Structure formats: structure tokens, C-alpha cells
Structure 1
Amino acid sequence: MVQPAMPPLPDSGAWSDRLARLLVRHHLLALLLGGLLVLVSVLGVLRVGYTADNRVYFGERNADYQAFERLGDIYALSETVLFAFVGDTDLCTPPVLEGLRDFTAEAWLLPDALRVDSIANFQHSESRGDEIIVESLIPEDGALSAAQAQRIKRIAETSDELLNRLISPGCRALGVSVNLVPEGNATVSRTEVARIARSLQAEWQDRLPGLRIHVSGTVIGDAAISAAAERDTRLLVPAGFACVSVLMALGLGTFSGWLGTTLVTLGGALATLGFAGWLGIALIPATAVSPLAVMVLVSASCVHVVLGWTRRIAEGQDRTAATVAAVEENLSAITVTNLTTAIGFLCLNFSESPPLAQMGTIVSLGIVVGWLLTVLALPAMLLRLPDLRFRPLRLSPAALERLAGFALNQRGILTVFALLFLVSLAGLAQIRFNDSPLKYFDESFAFRTDSDAIEAALTGIESVQFSLDSGAEGSVFAPAFLNRVDRFATWMRQQDDVVFVGSLSDIVKRLNHTLGDGGPGGHDIAPTQAANAQAMMLYELSLPAGLDMNQMLNIDRTQTRVVVLLRDVDGQAIVDFADTAEAWLRANEPAIATQAVGFGVAFSKLTQRNNRAMVYGMLTVLVLVSGLMILTLRDLRLGLVSLVPNVLPAIFGFGLWGWFVGEVNLGSTVVTTMTFGIVVDDTVHILTHYRRRRRHGLEREEALRQTFRTVGAAVMVSSVAIFSGFAVMTQSGFALNQHMGGLTALVIVLALLTDLLLLPAVLRRTNQ
């Protein structure tokens, strides 16, 4: 049935009419140009790879990470693999301890292994006459007796160097820690090391079926980063594509429009991956979902063109005239909306985290390609593909007109949104920053479940470290310095969440106890530097290869490293502990006051730094997009009015997130900047059509009714598609993508409600 045509409107501009006619007249050439554009972009896909290095999250100027790297240089630190034997009963039995000894020996066979530590090769010291004997706690060969097993358990459980690190209270868990050479000197990839470690875990799980063997560490975590990126690329991007494709089919009601939209969005998504390859960007979870973002955003422009085309067809125009009209009618608006969306993503380059900046760059490039394909290729497909139409699932034009009348005349809408604004402001105060690389993974990753099991049974995964300088003492063996270190270690052991503290003072006290050179009872720091140094020298001379003290002492023995392991902490707790420890040192031991460093510390502070950086990104987007809106609408007051439905959705979204979720991470911090350019899309289409009708002499209500009738369906279909695409991201096993997708989807829904309900009320209130 042919629908009655609306009153004709003047052209939005001679340039758009001429360009629309040119594109339709030479549609095959335009289609060819679009295809070549995609081909050149997509060739970069051949260069796309994944990275297993989570250090990419830090920029070169990140001071916290630089401090962590300097610590690694001083103490020859490296990546780690941590195995844990966990049981339900006492594991300090001869069979298990003999197995631990054999496992420790096999762990040395891991590629690039630099050091292996367990209670099996722990260098226990004792005196025999005038000699100090240093030997492995578990004899290197031979069967163990029950008495030997109990002796080993007693020594290990009473050692500050082992308890809650390599043995749990009650000996229900035992650990094996492997350090590897730095990645720059590695002979195999860390992903391959992780694979071999998993194979070792599986092999020994079969050999010791009564135990549960878990594996974690930085190498396993890095491999999980790569696996998460590959999984999201392999599963979420196709799932998002399928979801958007189905929604397009249901909402558009035309085969040619659906297929054209599908091909355009697919071209934009592939181009995004191609740009990642051309720019040499290795994919991690944050960048792996970039094609999905482009896919759903490009579909929005296609929806407006296709629905404009179907409306003209329904009014009785032929395909050529309908195509020209649809392109001309929407060309200006989709150009502005794609530009504002690209600007929003480009401003992610303000981010302190390179992957988020890279995501912003490749998504913005993908959006530009998608816009070009919408202009070049989509009209040709509307003209050439079979014109098969079916009944779409969307609101009828009459229902959209009634919605416009309701929004314009319902005076309580402003009150409702004002209350929502106040509730959202209160919700913002509930937000807590929480960034922990471990907590980024959900339970579908073995790295997460293994790490949780190790934390529950054996030790903490997150570490905070301090490099203490002997300063005026001139040596780490000076009694005054060692006593300061010991007081600091004692204080830290009393803090919540601290499960282990490793310090030089513990070793010196043990050696002095062995030699009888300490204070009363022979279990203290010796009163002279020479005595402490002598004890350490005797100890180091007895250490086997690979178990030296370089991870605790610098080369000239003027600095020492104190390691603190925290159990079951989030990012904010890590930062709070680091700040508290630094404050305690300044107040109580200013001579050795220093900075708390660690990967977890750097990562947790990165979110806070990134949040501050994105304020500048948000201000930049606000200025640029607002200026574009004013220029596009050619009306200062209307341009300022447009800020209301563009700024409020992010406030509403974060406020509600604060009430119902409470935690934000690195992915959350970019949502405001990212979504500002997205939510502008609907506002641009509504106000562009509204302004044209007002300039044509229509009254406010009639102009708004016709606007909703013209673009209301496209606004709703495109918003649902964008919402669905980002909602798919919440199914990622990686928290950064979950938060980014969830928050963006929430903001898109709120933006739709704001555009359809609040914007008309504001237009009435401001007499526009």
C-alpha cells in the first residue's frame, strides 16, 4: 500500500543534491571505488598478530611502571611461573615431598628457566662444630623417612622465608616458583613457555592424582591476555555481527537494504582489522573488539539511508528517485554523525594506556571507511540488489507521531529527568576504581581459577616491593640499616591483606642464629657490620648455581629488596597499601623511605591517571562536537540545546553504574569520551530534520511529529543495533571489555530515551 507523502521540503543544500545525483548516476564506479578501498585496507589483516605482553598497557612515560622496570634492572628480576600442589590433608609426607623434589628438578627444564625455588631446594643452614652447613632442605636423592618428612615440615613452617610463600600452615599446599630470563633475552615466546608449563601441570596431575596442581605467574597471565584477545576476536566479533545482522533484517524490512547494510558494516569491520595490521598494532583484548564497535556504529548510518529509501518507495517513487532522495536527505547528517563519532574515538589518544589510544585510532579509521562505503557502495546496492520487502518489526509512523506529541506536551518529563540527574550524581560518589590484572579474567580462564586456588591455599598473587638504600650506612649489612629494615618488615606483617614479607633481615637473623653471633638467644642481627657480612658471605659461598642473592641484593650491596605478597586484594586496596606503607616509612624510618613499586601498583594507578587524562579528552570532544553541531544546525541556541541530550546520558550511565555495580576499571574510564561522539548521532538526525521543518514554516509540534515520523524509526533501530553490539561485549571473559561494553550499552539506551523524551521537552521549554 502506498503511504501518503509528507509535504515536500526544500533541499538541505545544493551540494548534497548534486552529490547524491552524481553518486547514483555513476553508482557502479562508486561501488568499484568502495571495493578498492576495502581491499587496500583489508590487506593489512595479513599483518595482524596478537601479543602476550601485558606491559603494552603502559606508556613510555608512565612513572609507576618505569619505577617497576628500574627495580627489575637492579635486582635482575624476570617473569615468573608459580606452581602449587594443593591437597585436603597434610602434604608433608615422604611420597609427596619426594614428588616435589622431582618436580622441582623438572621445572629447571622449562625454557629460559633462571631460578627455581621450593622447600625442596631451600638452602637451610645449620652449624656443625665450627662450620656452617648450607644444604637443600630435602636431600637431593634417596627415599625419605616419616621422621625426615616431619623435620622438613617443622623447619619450613617456622621459616619466615617459606611460610605463606612456598608452604602453607599445616602443609596443605606447597609451591614451586620459577623465574625466567627477561623476555628480551628469551629463546622462545612466553606463550610457548606457558604451553609447556601447562603440559607439565597436566603430566604431574596424572602422576599425583590425589593432589590438585595449579599454575599461575606473570608468564601464564601474559598468555591469558593473548588467549582473551583471540577468543574475543573469534567469538564476540562474529556473534556481534550476527546479532546486528538479524536486527537489521527485522528492523529494515528490505532484502536489498539488509544485504547492503550487512556488506557495508562487514567492510568497515574488516578495514578496522586491516588498519591494525598496517599500523603494526598487536591485538590484545582492548583492541580485539574494535571491529565489533565499528560494525555497530557504521550500521547506524546505513539504517537512516535505507529507511529513507524504503519510505520513498512506499510513497510511490521509483528506485532511482528514492535512492537519490534518501542519500540527499541523510548525507549531511550521516557525515556529521560519523565525524563526531570518529572525533570521540580519536580523543582516546589522550589515554595514558597505549592500547586504548590504539583502539581509538583504528576505530576512527574504520568509521571513516564505513562512512565512505555508506556513501559509495550502499546506493549502488539499493539500486542493483533484488527489491524484496517484508513487514519490519518497528513502531509505525503513527505511533512515532503520538510519541512526539506525548514527549512535547507531558510536563512531568523534565521533573523525572531532574530526579534521575540527582540520583545519578549520588551514584557517582559510589564509584570505586578497581584494576587488578588477575581480576580482569573471569572463571572461564584457567589462569583465574588457578590463581584464585593458589591465593586461597598457599600465598598471595599480588606483590608490592620496596628497594631500600643503606645510604649513610654504606652497606646493607650495617646493623642500624638492618634493624630499620626489620622494623619495617615487622610492621608490614601486621597489616591486613599481607600474607608474606620477604626481607634481608630475616636471612641475616637466621644465619646469626645458626652461627650464634646474634643477640641474646643467638637469633638477632649481629651488632657489627663485619659479623653480618661474614655470615652472608659464608652463606653465599655455599649456595648452588642459580640460587644466589642477586634478587634480593644489588651488585655493590648497598640496596636490598623487600617483597610483600597481598592476598585477595583489588586495585584500590593495592594502592591504599602502597600509600600507607610509604607514609609509614616517611614518618617512622625516613632514612630508608622509598617508593612502593610493583606491576599491580602501576596497573592500579594507571586507571586513576587515565581517568584524569580522559578529562582532557572529554573536554576536547565537547568543544569540537559542540562546535560542529552549531555549524551544522546554523543556530547557536539550538546547538546549545543539543548539549542536553548529549551530556546527560554519560552522567546518568555512570551514576546508575555506581549504584548497581560500583566498580570501574581501565575500560570504564574511556566510555564518557567514547560515547559522547556516538550519542550525538541521534540528536543530529532529529535536530537536522526538525530545523528544516521549522524553517519551512511548520509549528513546533507538527515539525516534531513529522521529524519523528521521518527519522524516529531509524533512530530506534540504529540505537537498538548499537546497544546490542556493545551488549555482546559484556559476554567477554575480560573485565575491561565487559565494563566498556556494559557501560556503553547503558549510555546508548539512556541517550535514546533522552532524545525521544527529554529533547522535545527541552525544545518546548526553550521555545525552539
Structure 2
Amino acid sequence: MNFVRKHFKILSYLSLGLVLLITAFSIYELRKIKFNYDFEKFFPVNDPDLDVYLDFRKTFEYDNEFVLIAVENKKGVFQKSFLEKIELLSDSLKLVPDIISVTSPTTLQNTSITAFGPIRTPLIHVDESERYKSDSALIFQSEELIGSFFSKDGKSISLFIKTTQGINKINSDKLVATINRLLVNSNFDKFRTASKAQGQKTYLDRLTGEFFIFFICSFLLIVLFLYISFRSFWGVWVPLMVVILSIIWTLALMTALGKPLDIMTVLLPTMMFVVGMSDVVHIVTKYLEELREGNSNRFDALLKTIKDVGFATFITLLTTSLGFLSLLNSHILPIRDFGLYTSIGVFIGFILSFTIVPVVLNVIPQPNLKLENKSSQFWNKRLLKLLSWVLKNGKLIGFGTIVMVILSFVAIGKININNYMIEGLTTKDEMRQDFIFFEKHFAGARPFELIATPSDTSSTMLGIKEIKAMNKLETYLKDNYKVGFILSPISILKEINKANNNGNPTYYTLPTDSESIADLTDQLAQFRKRKELKNLLTTDGKQARISGKMHDIGSKIIREQNQKLKIFIASEPEMGAINIQLTGAAVMLDKNNEYIVANTLQGLLLSILIVGLIIALIHKSWKMALIAIIPNLLPIIFIGGLMGLLGIELKSSTSIIFTIAFGIATDDTVHFLGRLKLELLKGKSLLYALKRTYLSTGKAVVVTSLILAAGFMTLMTSGFESTFLFGLLVSITILIAVLTDLLLFPLLVIWLIKNKK
């Protein structure tokens, strides 16, 4: 230690030089920072259904590489000028790179099979307005067209565009921009779009904007709280310097490892701003306390500060990091990355706090202790009054806590596990409005995919029993599951039957007799090599695909529908001819919910177990472990109750708050316990040691909690509902946690710890 004291100035310059070097490298790396949103990253890894889905894409095609366009015309769609613009739009879209095919009402044809061969006529005779009446009559008698290409009210039509399989982000953005430009130039009354490409662009644009909004809001709020707390310029810029450096280093590390910012990791700077501030605030608070107590040598004051709060701060590093690292238990890759890199950022913040802060505090002019003493008196007076009230009303606080816990558990039972394809967007959002329009006037925009295989391995999906079973299944899906815009081998057979009967819409059905069905399958065999059929039926006939669109009704209702589907299949003897497997991108996103409860409980229990074990080993007392866990477990229970009471659903974005909030909230209790142990080691009585702990650590605990809550509240400025809820719930949890610390910590100490004096 004498060596450090003697060469402290040289060591300080070396430390600052190393920090500047790393920071310069980090800033250089940040030039390459990228933003990305690929919703397929939210598919659960190591899940057998994911393998099924990937095989499905290889066998058939991507189920989400499409664009739906809905175009409105207030006077009705059967207006010549409107239909001409649709026809021109369709022709223009066919020329756009990465568009494979365009299916438009103006390109659809009605086929009749005659003795002279098939005769194809346009579904809509665009250039012959006098035929619009008969065209519209035929269209609205065709159930397969209504909800697919024509709205029920006849004022909107839909175009279905297939795009390049696995299109990359750059080309995807170009495609969206080109389609939007063509639509704007067409001067329609109103147009709507729904696609993965549009969704990813919207999410990414918003992520980029919100990244800077969160950063600026966090910065301003924390500056305000730091100034109010320390009432000095240095009391603001020293903590800010440490946290900003931590953010820069962490983001640079992610960039160097090729990790872009996504919808989860975009929260990392805000996390770092609020979580990383805790260590610095405790160091500065303890340093000022040492100066006020007459320790005139600043090096000695710093040494005493590091000695007293260093170990407790290291423990809080472990508990906070543990909260984030427990997210590695998740099956969702972005959540794993978020947990990993945030924990690394917390560790970087800890290193900087105990290397740079002591150097800076020793170099800058000594703070004005008169101002600090006034601030100290303000806090001491109010904390002492609160402690006195707590000790006098212990039974009331205990009873109130028990009642709140019981009520919270009742409310927790009302929490629903749910998620949507368009996750996080409010109903006022333009993209959400587009999806709602497709659900109101068309079949919807959520993809539905099902694979059917014959139960008899010697048969194919074109066997009579298999066809009848698949037809019955499609009828159920349409009437009960509410799937529309259905495409399958059955829909092709129905189309052939319709064509055989002069294009009469009433014949868009499957014959009941086996002989007629066999005739249709013979005709279908002529199209085996066509790509349209290959996308619905494998060449060997062993796998058939039922594809459609439906409303984005949420995974909760989908689970109920799936259960009813299982009951239907089990109750219908005919359905024994085929085996089915639901798949698709939407199914993979829904699968996340199967892991949410398990991952949340496992992560939380692991955090509680390890935190309790660490505290018990350090303090050599299981009672100390209880004192650490109880005040921080209660906020988790209360926030769960609040979610149930307010109808906030449990999903990937809200499930992570429990382990994160527990890890962060535990910090305050660890500092309380660390200071209490120091006071008891000095031979003080339990009550005196508790009083000293409450007054000395209380200010830092309250200040850091307010900073944490305010920082997370900045997330409430987000346009994503999920980010808003994350910020709201974590903020409330932290505020509840500081209250339980201030109210229950003294009582638990007195109830559980016996002191000889």
C-alpha cells in the first residue's frame, strides 16, 4: 500500500492513459455499429418444431416471403379508371427486382374445360365496363375470391406478391421503397401493405430513432438527479464519465464481435446508464462521508471508501450480473445476447468505478463540504424520522405486507401468456392499422401453414381416403379455425371441378363419389411438374401443404384453437387417414410461450438460490440470506400481482423483468448488510449499528433507486408497447424494492438477528 501511496500520481496517469487508449479504439469501432431486426431470431433455438419448419421451407417455400397490398376505392372497385390503375400497377410490380410473381384481380382468369380444351377468360374485363355487372356477380358467387382478392363490401381489392426466398436486408428495404413509391404514384384513395419486409423496416427504423431518444432522455434525467443529490458540478460529471465510458466500451465490444443492436440490445445503453450509476453513487457518497468526518487526507479517505464499500459493491456486481446472466437460460437468442452483453457492461462499469473514480477524485479540487453538509442534514433528518416510524409500527407493516402478498398471488393467477405476430405495436400505429384492415376486410395477414402426410406409408396424399380427410380438415379450418385464402391440393382439385363445369362457381367443391375424385386426381397429375403444384404437394405425393391467412388473434386463442383441432381430429374416423403437423413462422413465434413460464421461474429461482448462497457464505448466516432475499422477492410478487390486476400479458418482453429487477433490487440490500456488518464489527449495539447503517447507506440507496427508476422510465417514451411496459414495470419494481428495503430491512434485522449487547 505504501508503494501505491508513493507512486499514486504515476499510477493515475498510467491508468488514465490506458483508459484513453481503450476509449479511442472503442470510438473507432463504433463507426461500424449496426442496427438489425430479424424476427426469425426470436424463434426458439434447440426446438424440434424449428427443425420441422426448416425442412418445410426446403421442401416447399418460405411462408413469409410475400407482400399483401390492399387498395381502396370509395366508389367501389368496379370503376374503369380504378381497374386500369390496378392493371398498370400489376404490370409495373412484375418488373421490380426480387418480385417473383404478382397475383392481382386483373390478372386472374376463369377457366372452362371444353371438348376443344381449356378456355380461359379474364375474371374482370377491364376494358369492357359494360361487362362489370356480370363480372362482379360471378366474383361474389365465388367464395374462394371473397376475403382473398376482394373485400366483402366491394370497395377494396388485394394483390398477392411473392418475393425472393431468403431476401437480404438491403434488397428487402429497396423492395419496400419501390413498392411504396409505385403505390404513391398511382394516386389511389388509400392503400395498405402487410409483409415481413415492411415489418422489419418499420421496426428497424424505430429502433434506430429510439436508441438516441433513450440515450438523451436517460442522460438528462440522470444529470438532474445527480445534481439534486450532490449539488455540485463534479458530483455530476464524475459518475457520468464512468457510465458513458462503460457504454462506449460495451457497444464497441459488441461491434467488434459483429453483434448488431436489435429490439432487445437497443435497451443496453439505457440499462448501463442506470445500473452502472449505482457503484459510482455509493463510492462518492462514502467518500464525502469520510471527508465530513474529518479525514482531511484525500488518499486516506479514498482508501477507507474502497475498503468499506468495495466488497459490498463487488457483491452487487455479482447479483446484478446474475440477474442478466440468468437470461442465458432463455430459448430466444436476442434475449440471451441482451443478458450476456448487459452483464459484461456491468462488469466494465465496476472496473472503471474502482480505477478511474479514485484517480479523478484525488486529482480534482476538494468538494465544498458546506453544501454537502446541508445535503447530509436534509437526508439524515428524514431518514431518522422514517426509521423511528418503522420501528414503532413493525406489526402494522408486517400485517400489511402479508395482506399484499396474498392479494398479489390471487392477481398473479389472472396473468395470461400471450403474444402476437405484430408484437409491441399499439393499435394507433400505422403498420398495426394496416394489419387490422386486412383482418376486417380480408382473411388477415398472419400466415397459416400445415403439413399433411398419409397414415398409410404405402399410400400418397392423392389417395381417395387422404383427399376426403384433407377436404374435411379444410372445411373445419375455414369454419372453426377461421383460416381464409386457403391454397392446397384440395383447392386445385376444386378449381378443376369448377373448370369441368363451365366455370360455374357453385362447382368449386369436391365431389362426394370416389370415381369423380379419381378423375380429378388424374387431371391434377398433368400439373405435377408445375411450380404452383410443387409448392403444395411433393413430387412423390407423400407431403401436402395447406396454406392460408388468418387474423392475428394472439397465441392464447391459437392454443385454444389447436386444442379444439386435436379434439376434432380424434373424434372424426375419416381423419385417421392422415397425420398433420402445424408449422410456419407464426407457429415458431407462438412456441416461445411454451418456454416463457419455465424460463422465468428457472431464472428467478436460480437467481434467488445463488444470491442467498452468496450472502449466507459471506456473512456466515442463513438469517442474513433471508434478510437479503425477502425485501427483494416481495417487489417481484407485487409486480406480478399488478400485471394480473391490469391485464398485462406475460410474453418474451415482459417475462425478463422478474430476474433483471431481482438482480438490480438486491444491490441496495447488499449495501445495507455490508454497512451493518462493519458497524457490528466495531462493537456497536444492534440498534445503534442499524441506525448508523440506515442513515449512512440510506441516502445512496434512495438516490440510486430514483436514478434507476427514472432511467427505466425513459423507456416509456418508446413507440413499442412491449418496451413501454418493460420500462414501466421495472421502474415500479425498483421503487417498490426501495420501499421494502426502507420499511422491512430494519424490522427483519431486529426480528432475526440476536445481539449480545
State the TM-score, normalizing by the size of structure 1.
0.90
- In the TM superposition, what are the counterparts of 1:465-544 in structure 2 within 5 Å? 465-472=449-456, 474-495=459-480, 497-516=482-501, 523-525=509-511, 527-528=514-515, 530-537=518-525
Q: Cα gap change, 1:232/1:361 in structure 2, threshold over 3 Å: closer, same or farther?
A: same
Deviations 1:557-605 (A, max 9, x none): 3332212432241221223223332442243213223122222222122
Q: Cα gap change, 1:490/1:740 in structure 2, threshold over 3 Å: closer, same or farther?
A: same
Note the C-alpha offset of 1:422: 0.7
Residues in 2 aligned to 1:100 and 1:330: alpha-carbon distance in whole angstroms = 71
User: The residue matched to 1:261 in structure 2 has which SS?
Assistant: helix
Do 1:269 and 1:366's aligned partners in 2 also have CA atoms closer than 8 Å? Answer: yes
Note the C-alpha offset of 1:521: 8.2
Q: 2:731 aligns with which of 738, 745, 748?
A: 745
Q: 2:359 aligns with which of 372, 380, 384?
A: 380
Q: Which amino acid aligns with 1:293?
A: M
Note the C-alpha offset of 1:316: 4.0
Residues in 1 aligned to 2:525 and 2:225: alpha-carbon distance in whole angstroms = 73
User: The residue matched to 1:667 in structure 2 has which SS?
Assistant: helix
Do 1:161 and 1:502's aligned partners in 2 also have CA atoms closer than 8 Å? Answer: no
Answer with 284-293 or 186-195: which moved more.
186-195
Is 1:236 matched with 2:214?
Answer: yes
Q: Which amino acid aligns with 1:407?
A: V
Note the C-alpha offset of 1:85: 0.6
Note the C-alpha offset of 1:722: 0.7
User: The residue matched to 1:97 in structure 2 has which SS?
Assistant: helix
* Structure 2 match to 1:245: 223
Is 1:361 matched with 2:343?
Answer: no
Residues in 2 aligned to 1:408 and 1:40: alpha-carbon distance in whole angstroms = 53
Residues in 2 aligned to 1:219 and 1:440: alpha-carbon distance in whole angstroms = 17
Note the C-alpha offset of 1:540: 7.9
Residues in 2 aligned to 1:653 and 1:760: alpha-carbon distance in whole angstroms = 23
Q: Which amino acid aligns with 2:244?
A: L
Do 1:285 and 1:734's aligned partners in 2 also have CA atoms closer than 8 Å? Answer: no
Residues in 2 aligned to 1:23 and 1:159: alpha-carbon distance in whole angstroms = 86
* Structure 1 match to 2:317: 338
Q: Identical aligned pairs, as a percentage? A: 20
Residues in 2 aligned to 1:469 and 1:715: alpha-carbon distance in whole angstroms = 62
* Structure 2 match to 1:277: 255
- In the TM superposition, what are the counterparts of 1:379-528 in structure 2 within 5 Å? 379-387=358-366, 396-410=379-393, 411-442=395-426, 445-472=429-456, 474-495=459-480, 497-516=482-501, 523-525=509-511, 527-528=514-515
Residues in 2 aligned to 1:518 and 1:198: alpha-carbon distance in whole angstroms = 35
Note the C-alpha offset of 1:686: 0.7
Note the C-alpha offset of 1:704: 1.8
Residues in 2 aligned to 1:752 and 1:520: alpha-carbon distance in whole angstroms = 69
Is 1:192 matched with 2:190?
Answer: no
Is 1:727 matched with 2:713?
Answer: yes
Is 1:573 matched with 2:557?
Answer: yes
User: The residue matched to 2:462 in structure 1 has which SS?
Assistant: coil
Residues in 2 aligned to 1:279 and 1:430: alpha-carbon distance in whole angstroms = 42
Deviations 1:191-246 (A, max 9, x none): 22222222233222xx22xx210111111112223223212212212222222222
Answer with 680-689 or 737-746: which moved more.
737-746
* Structure 2 match to 1:651: 637
* Structure 2 match to 1:549: 533
* Structure 1 match to 2:330: 351
Residues in 2 aligned to 1:737 and 1:41: alpha-carbon distance in whole angstroms = 27
- In the TM superposition, what are the counterparts of 1:678-717 in structure 2 within 5 Å? 678-717=664-703
Q: Which amino acid aligns with 2:555?
A: G
* Structure 1 match to 2:587: 601
Query: Which residues of structure 2 form unaligned runs of 5+?
Result: none
Note the C-alpha offset of 1:171: 1.5
Q: Cα gap change, 1:447/1:64 in structure 2, threshold over 3 Å: closer, same or farther?
A: farther
Answer with 235-244 or 442-451: which moved more.
442-451
Note the C-alpha offset of 1:421: 0.5
Do 1:268 and 1:291's aligned partners in 2 also have CA atoms closer than 8 Å? Answer: no
Deviations 1:475-504 (A, max 9, x none): 433333222112111122222654554443
- In the TM superposition, what are the counterparts of 1:257-268 in structure 2 within 5 Å? 257-268=235-246
Q: Cα gap change, 1:134/1:223 in structure 2, threshold over 3 Å: closer, same or farther?
A: same
Deviations 1:700-744 (A, max 9, x none): 332222112101111001001111111211222223323332222
Do 2:112 and 2:501's aligned partners in 1 also have CA atoms closer than 8 Å? Answer: no
Note the C-alpha offset of 1:35: 3.6
Deviations 1:254-299 (A, max 9, x none): 2212101001111111222122212322221111111211111010
Q: Which amino acid aligns with 1:357?
A: R
Q: CA RMSD in A?
A: 2.9
Q: Which amino acid aligns with 2:519?
A: A
Q: 2:86 aligns with which of 100, 124, 128?
A: 100
| Number of equivalent positions | 741
Do 1:83 and 1:175's aligned partners in 2 also have CA atoms closer than 8 Å? Answer: yes
Do 1:272 and 1:294's aligned partners in 2 also have CA atoms closer than 8 Å? Answer: no
Residues in 1 aligned to 2:3 and 2:163: alpha-carbon distance in whole angstroms = 65
Is 1:759 matched with 2:745?
Answer: yes
Query: Which residues of structure 1 form unaligned runs of 5+?
Result: 1-14
Note the C-alpha offset of 1:60: 3.9
Is 1:225 matched with 2:225?
Answer: no
Q: Cα gap change, 1:609/1:214 in structure 2, threshold over 3 Å: closer, same or farther?
A: same
Q: Cα gap change, 1:326/1:695 in structure 2, threshold over 3 Å: closer, same or farther?
A: closer
Note the C-alpha offset of 1:43: 4.6
Residues in 2 aligned to 1:81 and 1:179: alpha-carbon distance in whole angstroms = 7
Note the C-alpha offset of 1:312: 2.9
Residues in 2 aligned to 1:765 and 1:87: alpha-carbon distance in whole angstroms = 74
Residues in 2 aligned to 1:239 and 1:166: alpha-carbon distance in whole angstroms = 46
User: The residue matched to 1:114 in structure 2 has which SS?
Assistant: strand
Q: Cα gap change, 1:43/1:616 in structure 2, threshold over 3 Å: closer, same or farther?
A: farther
Q: 1:155 aligns with which of 138, 156, 167?
A: 138
* Structure 1 match to 2:56: 71
Note the C-alpha offset of 1:620: 2.5
Do 1:431 and 1:658's aligned partners in 2 also have CA atoms closer than 8 Å? Answer: yes
* Structure 2 match to 1:306: 284
* Structure 2 match to 1:5: none
Note the C-alpha offset of 1:461: 1.7
